[in-house]
Amino acid sequence: MQGGGGSLIMMVLVFVIMYFFMIRPQAKKQKELKKLRENLKPGDKVVTMGGVHGKILEVSESTVLISSEGTKIRFDKAAISHQVEIL
């Protein structure tokens, strides 16, 4: 009978370890990314998920206009991957 209790404890322990090493950091990263996208402003230098580097010219409710080497491209805010200091 004790074998069943031990395996239950092991399953719970595995879930707790997964939570702290996988789920929690991912949720924290998503929260930080959401905050970054909400605080975008003209002049910020960003990289999109597709790898386009550029400077933000205009920000609207759900899109941003980015200038990259003389070309202007409009992206959805969700396409912004991260902000960079030097472009």
Domain count, the chain: 2
- Can you tell me the distance from the alpha carbon of 87 to that of 37, in angstroms, rounded to the nearest whole number? 18
- Which domain covers residue 54, as residue numbers? 40-87
Residues 13 and 52 in one domain: no
66 band by pLDDT with thresholds 50, 70 and 90:
very high
The pLDDT, as a whole number, for residue 47 is: 95
9, pLDDT greater than 70: yes
Residues 32 and 54 occupy one common structural domain = no
Please report the pLDDT score of residue 1 as a whole number. 46
Task: Give the mean pLDDT of the chain.
Answer: 90
pLDDT at 34: 94
Considering the domain architecture, whether residues 11 and 33 belong to the same structural domain is answered as yes
Position of tokens 């990263």?
Answer: 29
67: amino acid identity, one letter:
S
Residues 54 and 35 in one domain: no
Average pLDDT over residues 62-72: 92
The Cα–Cα gap between 71 and 24 comes to 39
CATH number assigned to the domain comprising residue 51: 2.30.30
Q: What pLDDT shows up at residue 30?
A: 93
HEC-encoded secondary structure of the chain = CHHHHHHHHHHHHHHHHHHHHHHHHHHHHHHHHHHHHHCCCCCCEEEECCCCEEEEEEECCCEEEEEECCEEEEEEHHHEEEEECCC
Whether residue 44 sits in one domain with residue 67: yes
- Both 55 and 18 in a single domain? no
pLDDT by residue (tens digit) across 11-47? 999 999 988 899 899 999 999 999 999 999 999 999 9
